[in-house]
């Protein structure tokens, strides 16, 4: 079955290399996991990947796989008898850093660039550092995301004891399953509520969204594909936010997942237009390394199927802090106060989603 195939797990950096050597994350991290557990509905597949040789024989591998399967079945029976886990309600954040002042300075420069016509769009991000009262277990935070954000792609990427990237991404860079490519154009944001439908009639948000749709379709055309999309966007609700969303499909003709990822990343939803110039200005205006933020994260399997998400709505967890990042798309006609409010909204919603304070435990992500 497709879910039983071996998968290489991938986490890219937003930029190919950091500004300073040794600062930031590698351009791409790839892992072939020793253990792989996949589930679809009531069916699960457990896979063990080990090199053979010496004492590691096919029989020994089969026995190890069997023992792990029995162990997991025992855990499942134990958990079935436990009451549902409750989210923590004790405040766990000491204080949050001031992100507004540095963002406002960069925001005014970014707006000048788009108003002069140097850029058609620029997605400028802000970062906030939340100081924690004590270390948190990233696996517990992931369990919280599984309960509170079922309509988004929940992920945890941890290669050291000190740092863990986790989040719930609403945005698919692309998926490739049985010869069908699916991509998301996601741009334009409002808080959930009665005013969310205003997105569909907002000239500014529709323009920002259309730039993303047109660019993704053009890139796929240039790669030799024939993308299809609906004429109008729809609303997609994810947690406390609503976005304009246009699904895009195509049939690849021999293009590999990595080639498609290179062509599509970064989309104008997370960088800007023109791409090269926008990327250069992000280096200049943002006073931090983006790292994995807004970069592709996901997997490619042994038959070329793939799922790569855009690592937004994510945070970098350390023993004493959580760094969260959010951005807003600047186009001609953008108002600085509104863009700053959008970033503040996204940071607040992201904090509520990642940290189980009990304030927003009932929120659900709906596609």
Helices (H), 118-231: 138-148, 203-222
Q: Which of 63, 171, 208, 340 is catalytic?
A: 171
Does the annotation count 121 as an active-site position?
yes
Q: Which of 63, 94, 121, 131 is catalytic?
A: 121
Please compute, for residue 22, the number of CA atoms within 13 A of its CA located in the half-sphere on the CB side.
0
Long-range own/partner contacts, residues 95-102 (CB < 8 A, 24 or more apart): 95/130, 95/131, 96/128, 96/129, 96/130, 96/131, 96/351, 97/128, 97/129, 97/130, 97/131, 99/126, 99/127, 99/128, 99/343, 99/347, 100/126, 100/340, 100/344, 102/126, 102/287
Does the annotation count 346 as an active-site position?
no
Which of 334, 171, 363, 129 has the alpha carbon at shortest distance from 268? 171
How many CB atoms sit inside 10 A of residue 44's CB? Answer: 15
Please compute, for residue 238, the number of CA atoms within 13 A of its CA located in the half-sphere on the CB side.
24
The residues annotated with a catalytic role in the active site are 121, 171
């Amino acid at each position: 079955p497709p879910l039983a195939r071996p998968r290489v797990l991938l986490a890219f950096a937003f930029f190919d290399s950091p500004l300073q050597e040794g600062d930031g994350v590698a351009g791409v991290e790839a892992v072939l996991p020793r253990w792989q557990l996949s589930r679809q509905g009531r069916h699960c597949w457990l896979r063990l990947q080990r090199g053979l040789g010496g004492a590691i024989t096919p029989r020994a591998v089969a026995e190890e796989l069997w023992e792990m399967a029995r162990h997991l079945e025992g855990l499942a029976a134990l958990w079935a008898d436990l009451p549902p886990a409750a989210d923590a309600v004790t405040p766990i954040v000491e204080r949050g850093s001031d992100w507004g002042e540095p963002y406002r300075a960069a925001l005014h420069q970014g707006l000048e660039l788009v108003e002069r016509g140097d850029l058609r769009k620029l997605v400028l991000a802000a970062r906030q550092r939340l100081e924690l009262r004590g270390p948190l277990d990233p696996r517990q935070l992931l369990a919280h995301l599984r309960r509170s954000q079922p309509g988004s792609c929940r992920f945890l990427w941890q290669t050291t004891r000190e740092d863990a990237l986790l989040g719930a991404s609403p945005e698919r860079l692309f998926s490739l399953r049985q010869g069908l490519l699916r991509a998301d154009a996601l741009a334009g944001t409002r808080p959930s509520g009665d005013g969310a439908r205003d997105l569909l009639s907002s000239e500014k948000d529709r323009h920002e969204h259309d730039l993303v749709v047109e660019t993704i379709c053009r890139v796929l055309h240039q790669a030799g594909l024939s993308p299809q999309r609906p004429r109008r966007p729809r609303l997609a609700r994810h947690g406390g936010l609503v976005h304009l969303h246009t699904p895009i499909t195509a049939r690849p003709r021999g293009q590999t997942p990595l080639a498609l990822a290179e062509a599509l990343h970064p989309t104008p939803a997370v960088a800007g237009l023109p791409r090269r110039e926008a990327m250069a200005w992000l280096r200049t205006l943002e006073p931090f390394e983006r790292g994995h933020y807004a970069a592709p994260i996901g997997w490619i399997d042994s038959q070329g199927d793939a799922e790569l998400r855009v690592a937004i709505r994510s945070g970098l967890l350390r023993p004493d802090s959580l760094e969260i990042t959010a951005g807003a798309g600047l186009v001609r006609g953008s108002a600085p106060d509104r863009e700053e409010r959008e970033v503040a909204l996204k940071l607040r919603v992201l904090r509520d989603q990642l940290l189980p304070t009990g304030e927003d435990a009932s929120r659900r992500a709906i596609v």
